[in-house]
């Protein structure tokens, strides 16, 4: 397991490079590795934007059934999601839709977690000491792209 302390944008950069490297070594193709990279970037940016500070832990995993994959855990010290399900929706934060007039000059477009959902196969959030932890898994052989969305939304 490799950990990246995240308190600043450049830390996100480092985590991104680290996870791309790991994904490539795990056998991901270029395009897939870039997708994993975007996942780390979105989770890292969220730590910087909302989570005060935290860390990203990346790990290559190997499941008997699913085969190899990459697990990205993002832990922060920010408040819990008011609604994780809502936060996963595009154009929303954890309170609900972001109004178009509030979009310009905002640090994001409210679709970061949506991208995470689309690019991963398993996604869960749980409380962690002094904050929360989001764990995302992407398998080398995706069971069915977008599966994380189905799982997260049906909760």
Partner 1 sequence: MSQKNELFGEGFELETEVFDRIAKILMLLSDVATGDYSVRLDEDLPESHPFGALYRGVNEMVTSLRTTHESAVAYQQELEDKLATIEAQRAAIRDLSTPIMEVWEGVLCLPVVGIIDTTRSAEMTDALLRAVVDKGATCAIIDITGIEVMDTRTADHFLRMVKSVRLLGAQCVLTGINPSISQTIVHMGVDLAGVETHRSLRAALQNWVGDDEEKT
Binding region for partner 1 (CB under 8 A) out of 7-15, 53-61, 70-78, 123-131: 7-15
DSSP symbol at 146? T
Full 3-state SS string of 7-55: CCHHHHHHHHHHHHHHHHHHCCCHHHHHHHHHHHHHHHHHHHHHCCCEE
The site string for partner 1 over 87-126 (x = CB under 8 A, - otherwise) reads ---xx-----------xxxxxxxxxx-xx--xx-------
Q: Which of 21, 56, 52, 54 is nearest to 41 (CA)?
A: 56
Least CB distance from residue 17 to partner 1, whole Å?
A: 10
Residue 38 within binding range of partner 1, rule CB under 8 A: yes
Looking up tokens 């905002």, which residue turns up?
106
Residues near 149 by beta carbon (within 8 Å), at least 6 away in sequence = 88, 117, 118
Residues 6+ apart with CB under 8 A from 9: 45, 48
Contact flag: residue 49 with partner 1 (CB under 8 A): yes
Member of 4, 23, 28, 41 binding partner 1 (CB under 8 A): 41
- The nearest distance, CB 149 to partner 1, in angstroms, is 12
Nearer to partner 1, 26 or 45 (CB): 45
Q: Smallest distance from the beta carbon of 37 to partner 1, in angstroms?
A: 6
Nearer to partner 1 (CB atom), residue 130 or residue 150: 150
> Exactly one of 16, 71, 75, 132 binds partner 1 (CB under 8 A); which one?
16
**Beta carbon nearer to partner 1, 47 or 125:** 47
What are the C-alpha distances in Å from 95 to residues 40, 98, 107?
A: 23, 9, 16
């Amino acid at each position: 397991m490799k950990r990246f302390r995240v308190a600043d944008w450049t830390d996100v950069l480092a985590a991104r490079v680290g996870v791309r490297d790991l994904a490539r070594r795990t056998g991901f193709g270029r395009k897939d590795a870039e997708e994993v990279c975007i996942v780390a970037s979105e989770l890292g940016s969220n730590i910087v934007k909302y989570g005060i500070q935290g860390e990203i832990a990346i790990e290559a995993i190997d499941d008997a059934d699913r085969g190899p994959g990459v697990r990205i855990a993002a832990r922060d010290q920010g408040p819990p999601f008011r609604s994780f399900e809502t936060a996963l929706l595009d154009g929303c934060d954890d309170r609900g839709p972001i109004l178009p007039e509030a979009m310009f000059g905002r640090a994001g477009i409210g679709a970061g977690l949506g991208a995470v959902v689309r690019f991963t196969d398993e996604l869960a959030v749980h409380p962690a000491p002094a904050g929360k932890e989001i764990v995302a898994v992407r398998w080398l052989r995706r069971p069915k792209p977008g599966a994380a969305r189905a799982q997260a939304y049906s909760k």
